Amino acid sequence: MVDSHQRIFISQHKERTLNSRDPRFPSFDFPLYLITDRKLFSAHCVMYIALETILEAGVKAIQLREKDLSVKELLDMAFWMRELTREYDAKLFINDRIDVALSVQADGVHLGQNALPVSAAREIAGGKLLIGVSTHTIEEALKAERDGADFITIGPIYDTPSKLQYGPPIGVDTLRKVKSRVSIPVYAIGGIKLERVEEVKEASADGIALISGILAAKNMKATTEAFLRLLQ
């Protein structure tokens, strides 16, 4: 089922040809991992437009994270996100729903602590998906690596409205400790602003994950470019 606002999005993209290449991975060529939150926008298609701006600015990985959608609605969004990310040669990850990730040929699935365990996800996906895991403590990070995750996010590093549910910020020290004990890529998440990128880099994060840091910015293009410049 295609919603009316998605039809609008489609018509804007009708001139473009479908790219049917096989996704190539694994390669962690993305220093910035953008996570969606449609509630920051007035409508789905408005978020797509914003994401297109961000992709144009050079973001190479997006996680579709819309936890409160029905799986049917999520699949709709995932489908169009796949079109969009493919066009900009960016990776698409789907939060929690491995079925949706496989169905739209996403590059990966990103599992929360209450989602399917990594081993089960691997069983289902085989080599078709990268598996990312959200972690909040050193123990969770170590476990994710043991279980076979391809990469993790760890946070919240700093205070952030979107991560309040995960407790107080863990700080860059925890990030540094995690980095010294795991060998898979580690993305720092939670309250990372431009002026904190340097500190996160010094703690040897492989990249940063952002939601409102970009999606709530006034000038998304300039903000994305500024983050990417600092992450180079």
**Site residues, another protein (CB under 8 A):** 3-5, 8, 11-12, 41-46, 49-50, 52-53, 56, 218-222
Q: Are 205 and 180 in contact (CB under 8 A)?
A: no
Query: Closest distance between another protein and the C-beta of residue 219, in Å?
Result: 4
Minimum CB distance to another protein smaller for 21 or for 218: 218
As given in the structure block, the two tokens for residue 5 are 């606002």
Give me the helices (H) in 88-217, please: 98-103, 118-125, 138-147, 171-181, 197-202, 212-215
Q: What angle do the packed helices 220-231 and 44-56 form, to 10 degrees?
A: 40
Q: Smallest gap, in angstroms, from Cβ of residue 193 to another protein? A: 15
CA–CA distances in Å: residue 92 to residues 56, 99, 195 = 15, 14, 27
Q: Least CB distance from residue 189 to another protein, whole Å?
A: 25
User: Do 74 and 109 touch, CB atoms closer than 8 A?
Assistant: no
Question: What are the CA-CA distances from residue 28 to residues 58, 73, 186 (Å)?
Answer: 15, 29, 10
Nearer to another protein, 4 or 20 (CB): 4
Cβ distance to another protein smaller for residue 42 or 232: 42
Output the smallest distance, CB 52 to another protein, in A.
7
CB of 230 to another protein, least distance (A): 18
* Residue closer to another protein (CB basis): 24 or 218: 218
Give the residue with the Cβ less far from another protein, 36 or 135.
36
